[in-house]
Amino acid sequence: MSFVVSYENLKRVEVIGTSCAGKTDFSFRLSQLLGIKHIELDSLYWLPNWVPRSDEDFRTQVKKALAEDRWVLDGNYLKKVGDLVSPHLTAVFFLRYPWHVLLYRALCRLKKRVFGREVLYSGNYQTFYPALLTIIEIFFGGKYFAVTKDISTI
């Protein structure tokens, strides 16, 4: 299925999808193409040593990030900040791929992040066990989430 997206509709964009769907890569590239800010929710949420921010602090960080008029945001934090993000959206991209594509991406990510010691948010490193859980989640269906806003009105 293809459709035409107007540049004017790409003022405040959210990119959502399962683990390894390519949310961050897609949203970063889209933000560069549009010349606007990229907001990565994972980088706002995680502190050093994989300590999550408190909900209050996370919401404050997200509010600050959303203060600009144009941005592309990625991440699956609907329950924590969906009420802050969704009223501002002009477009939503839902990245959905077959499980075998996600599994391949998860294995590539494991190689790059765990064995390649890629530095992630706040100087954190991915360890083997959480990476393995992502692969298991993809392979066995894992978690699903629902879009809580009628995006046809955006």
**Is residue 151 in a domain?**
no
Q: Given this model, what pLDDT does residue 31 score?
A: 96
- Its domain, for residue 72, covers 8-146
Q: Given this model, what pLDDT does residue 83 score?
A: 93
Q: Given this model, what pLDDT does residue 125 score?
A: 78
CA atoms of 92 and 113, how far apart (whole Å): 28
Decide if 118 contacts 99 (C-beta within 8 A): no
Closest alpha carbon to 21 in 153, 149, 147, 137? 137
Domain with 52 in it: what CATH number?
Answer: 3.40.50.300
Q: Given this model, what pLDDT does residue 101 score?
A: 87
Q: Given this model, what pLDDT does residue 4 score?
A: 62
**Is residue 106 in a domain?**
yes
CA atoms of 109 and 135, how far apart (whole Å): 10
Q: Given this model, what pLDDT does residue 149 score?
A: 40
Q: Given this model, what pLDDT does residue 40 score?
A: 95
Q: Given this model, what pLDDT does residue 152 score?
A: 41
Q: Given this model, what pLDDT does residue 58 score?
A: 96
Question: From residue 87, how far is each of 9, 46, 55, 118 by CA, in Å?
Answer: 14, 24, 19, 35
- Whether this model's pTM surpasses 0.95: no
**Residues of the chain where predicted confidence (pLDDT) is lower than 50:** 142-154
**Is residue 38 in a domain?**
yes
**Is residue 28 in a domain?**
yes
Tell me the backbone φ, ψ of residue 72, rounded to 5 degrees: -125, 125
Structurally, how many domains does the chain consist of? 1
CA atoms of 49 and 47, how far apart (whole Å): 7
**Is residue 49 in a domain?**
yes
